[in-house]
Amino acid sequence: MALATPRDADGRAMLGALGLESAAELFDQVPESIRLSGALSLPGPLSEPELLTHMEELAQRDLHSGTAPCFAGGGIYDHFSPSVVDHLIQRGEFMTAYTSYQPEMSQGFLTAMYEFQTMVSRLYGLEVANASLYDAGTGLAEAALLAYEKTRRDRVVVTGALNPQYLECLRTALGPELGDMLTHVPHTDGLTDLDALKADLDDTVACVIVQQPSYLGTIESLPEIVEAAKAVGAKTVVCADPIAMAVLQTPGGAGADIAVGEGQPLGLPMSYGGPLLGLLATTRDLVRTLPGRVVGATVDSRGERGYVLTLQTREQHIRREKATSNICTNQGLCALAATIYLSVMGPRGLRRVASLCVTQSHRLRKGLAETALEPLYDAPFFREFAVRSPIPVPELQARMGDAGFVVGSDISAVTGVENTVLLAATESRTDAQVDAFVHALKGAI
């Protein structure tokens, strides 16, 4: 094997330092039986038009929401995004959006982030929001660390059915020491067991975390959970779906201290699960322990309104021992997309989207009475609900895929019931699609 180095002399020197005669000896640990002998068996090159045609043919083999109605839930949803969102975020001024270190040099983008913070605050009914985080999972971890920093307590209590990916992210961020202090209160019939929660709370709890709606789609009783947390002096963190907030009680309205959420439904595509957008809002008294950045409004020397990075609590900006987080950036372009989406939809449009989610998901559940799928819980739900399948979930996915529909993944680990799956219906699903999905289920099972 010939040396593939910029300079043969350098290559020989590196091999000499390793005590080797040739680069081929680097692969002595690889069994001969799996080494490639001879040239790769590849077809000849294609012209650009031929390559595009080939790629389009390959893409047509995939089952995805662009070609098949999507009824999958679990954290990423097939919501409609107005065309103006993509049109504006692809402008050159925004395509490489990043909150600069010299905030006075990016007034346009800082203005957009200020509007983003305002909208998130109103959406969650809280006083302050930051300029975004990576996603809901990391946002939840940051919220727990914020509560830990504020209360100086050790325990974190997770209630009911939390998205298992968020829970795993939370455990990772807390680390071995704090992770051992995390308690998960079980759910009963899809909702938080309030008696079990109250029995587990004491003056060592930093925060109580609840998802609204829950990972199973059910609607939790926030006021009761918040009251139980306040009784022992703990903070309440609500992982709240932003679309649902248009029709449900907000975290702030229920008395919660911190709200986080996944901003993907606000104008972002599913895109194989990313990039995503972390939302975080709090009460005013927690503002100085917020992670990331907060954009604020001020007045310049000429008396004109301007925007600056009011708080920058990350390690890159201040001494490490003073930092409240080591988060390095934000989701600037995704946050901008959410800002445009919320501006275009407005309160009335957002309520309409949320109402259609309720209408279409309930139409779907009603239709399941004619199929072999059995809803798992009777609790009120917003956009999705858990069902039990008489056949293994992978087989259900395959059969419905052949029929031209996308269904969710197996959630048996969360429900404790074998062969359970989440079904969701957003405003993107028409009556005809819902009815066709139910009809396909009858033939598939």
Does the structure show a pLDDT above 60 at 104? no
**Does residue 100 sit within a domain?**
yes
Residues 226 and 271 in one domain: yes
pLDDT grade for 3, boundaries at 50, 70 and 90: very low
* End-of-domain residue from the set 298, 317, 342: 342
pLDDT in tens, 337-374: 999 999 999 999 999 999 999 999 999 999 999 999 99
**Does residue 1 sit within a domain?**
no
Residues 245 and 113 in one domain: yes
Q: 3-17, 131-145, 174-188 — which one is most confidently predicted on average?
A: 131-145
**Does residue 216 sit within a domain?**
yes
Domain CATH number, residue 270: 3.40.640.10
Residues 295 and 376 in one domain: no
Express as a percent the part of the chain with pLDDT over 90: 68
* End-of-domain residue from the set 287, 321, 342: 342
* End-of-domain residue from the set 292, 312, 342: 342
Domain CATH number, residue 397: 3.90.1150.10
Residues 196 and 270 in one domain: yes
- Report residue 41: phi and psi, to 5°: -85, 85
**What is the reported pTM?**
0.86
Residues 413 and 276 in one domain: no
Parallel/antiparallel/unpaired status of strands 235-240 and 205-212 = parallel
Tell me if residue 403 falls in helix, strand or coil.
coil
Q: Closest by alpha carbon to 162, among 97, 100, 240?
A: 240
Parallel/antiparallel/unpaired status of strands 182-185 and 155-159 = parallel
Q: Which two tokens stand for residue 395?
A: 């087989």
**Does residue 127 sit within a domain?**
yes
Residues 332 and 378 in one domain: no
Residues 152 and 299 in one domain: yes
What CA–CA distance (Å, rounded) separates 249 from 154? 29
Residues 107 and 220 in one domain: yes
Residues 229 and 101 in one domain: yes
Domain of 374, in residue numbers: 346-444
Does the structure show a pLDDT above 90 at 2? no
Q: Which two tokens stand for residue 392?
A: 């293994």
Residues 392 and 275 in one domain: no
Calculate the average pLDDT of the chain: 90
Residues 288 and 411 in one domain: no
81 backbone φψ class: left, alpha, beta (φ>0; ψ -120 to 50): beta
Q: Provide the number of structural domains found in the chain.
A: 2
